Structure 1
Amino acid sequence: MKELVNFILQYGNLNQQQIELITGKATELEIRKDDYFSEAGKISTQVGFVLDGVMRVCYYDNKGEEITKYFIDENNLVVDLESFQNSICSSAYVQAVTDCKLIVFSKSDWEELLNTIVGWDAIVHKIIARALMQKIDRRSPLVSEDATTRYLSFMEKYPKILNRIPLSYLASYLGITQSSLSRIRKNIR
């Protein structure tokens, strides 16, 4: 719980009573590797904070190919925001890449925190803004750089994730085939 509190306090100040209210609403959840935190076609009903493990957000394109949009590791929130906020069916899957330990909040508890804690909405908006900037930062190079450069950038930016994810997911994220990724990795060594 300490990790969650430290994470939140990066974005604003809370008193002890507010912190206790937040931690009182939180529950721990373990998700086994390959299981889903939320699924396409369903409404996302919880916000999670990753304590341990790696998750990914993925979808299927119009050819039925699985595409990894991004990875989420420790000390980050995980939520299908559009589905969660608007109570609409999700178009993506949030899947555990490794066994994961999360702290989760139900939609009703999350909304209660928003309605009870003064300044909580401002903290949440700052967290969302940071996550959106990270998402843009992750995706932008994928459009303009060659595959080797994209792989090297991934290695540099996400060294903690690299050896914890299957190569098929990484290849999908980088927008290349798994055999191309294997060639790139072989040429770098």
Structure 2
Amino acid sequence: MQEFLSYLLQFGSLNQQQIDLISKKATSLKLSKDDYFWEAGKMVRQIGFLTEGVIRICYYNNKAEEITRYFIDENHLILAGDDIDEHYIPSVYLQAITDCHLVVFSKKDWKEINDTIIGWENIVQKITAKTHREKIERRSELISQDATERYLDFINKYPALLNRVPLAYIASYLGITQSSLSRIRKNIR
């Protein structure tokens, strides 16, 4: 819980009463490797903050191929949709790549925090803007690079993920086959 509170305080200030409310509403969730936090087509019921582990966001394309869109590692907030009142049904899966620990809130409790804490929306908007910028930066560079550049960029930017994420998922994220990734890795050693 302390990791989540420290994370929040980077984006705004909270008094002790507000911190107590957040702490009271939070619960702990453990996901085993390969478990889903969210599933495509199923309504999201929880907001989460990843304190330990790696989750991947993936979907199936029109050829029924599994595509990894990106990875979420520690100290990231996993939000549902743009509006807490909406019934958000994702088109992607959020799957644990490793055993994961999260601080979670039901949507009802998240809404209560939102309705009670003045400035909460501003904190969440700052977090959302930061996350959106990170996603755009990740994806935009992948478009203009060849496969080797994409892999080298990945290992430079996300060295902590390299040994935690299966090569098949990294290849999918980079938009290449696993055999192509193996050749690239062999050539750069």
Q: Same fold (TM over 0.5)?
A: yes
Give the CA deviation at 1:43.
Answer: 1.0
Residues 155, 83 of structure 1: alpha-carbon distance in 2 compared, 3 angstrom cutoff = farther
1:135 match: 135
Q: Is the CA contact 1:28–1:102 (under 8 Å) kept in the aligned structure 2?
A: yes
Give the CA deviation at 1:90.
Answer: 1.4
Identity rate, percent? 60
Q: Is the CA contact 1:43–1:84 (under 8 Å) kept in the aligned structure 2?
A: no
Unaligned runs of 5+ in 1: none
1:126 match: 126
Equivalent-residue separation in structure 2 for 1:28 and 1:169 (angstroms): 27
Unaligned runs of 5+ in 2: none
Q: Is the CA contact 2:80–2:88 (under 8 Å) kept in the aligned structure 1?
A: no
Equivalent-residue separation in structure 2 for 1:83 and 1:70 (angstroms): 22
2:178 counterpart of 1:178: yes
Residues 84, 168 of structure 1: alpha-carbon distance in 2 compared, 3 angstrom cutoff = farther
Task: Give the secondary-structure state (helix, strand or coil) at the position aligned to 1:51.
Answer: strand
Equivalent-residue separation in structure 2 for 1:37 and 1:182 (angstroms): 30
The 5-angstrom pairing of residues 1-150 of structure 1 reads 1-81=1-81, 86-150=86-150
Q: Is the CA contact 1:44–1:83 (under 8 Å) kept in the aligned structure 2?
A: no
Equivalent-residue separation in structure 2 for 1:142 and 1:84 (angstroms): 31
Equivalent-residue separation in structure 1 for 2:85 and 2:60 (angstroms): 22
Give the CA deviation at 1:141.
Answer: 1.0
Q: Is the CA contact 1:45–1:84 (under 8 Å) kept in the aligned structure 2?
A: no
Residues 107, 101 of structure 1: alpha-carbon distance in 2 compared, 3 angstrom cutoff = same
Equivalent-residue separation in structure 2 for 1:83 and 1:43 (angstroms): 14
The 5-angstrom pairing of residues 158-173 of structure 1 reads 158-173=158-173
Deviations 1:95-125 (A, max 9, x none): 0000001100110000000000000000000
Q: Say which is worse superposed, 135-144 or 86-95, in terms of deviation.
A: 86-95
Equivalent-residue separation in structure 2 for 1:139 and 1:22 (angstroms): 33
Equivalent-residue separation in structure 2 for 1:39 and 1:110 (angstroms): 20
Equivalent-residue separation in structure 2 for 1:14 and 1:164 (angstroms): 34
Tell me the amino acid that sits aligned with residue 79 of structure 1: L
2:154 match: 154
Paired residues in the alignment total: 189
Task: Give the secondary-structure state (helix, strand or coil) at the position aligned to 2:126.
Answer: helix
Task: Give the secondary-structure state (helix, strand or coil) at the position aligned to 1:123.
Answer: helix
Aligned structure 1 segments of 4 or more residues deviating by more than 4 angstroms? 82-85
Equivalent-residue separation in structure 2 for 1:36 and 1:83 (angstroms): 22
Tell me the amino acid that sits aligned with residue 81 of structure 2: L
Give the CA deviation at 1:86.
Answer: 2.8
User: Superposition RMSD on alpha carbons, in Å?
Assistant: 1.3
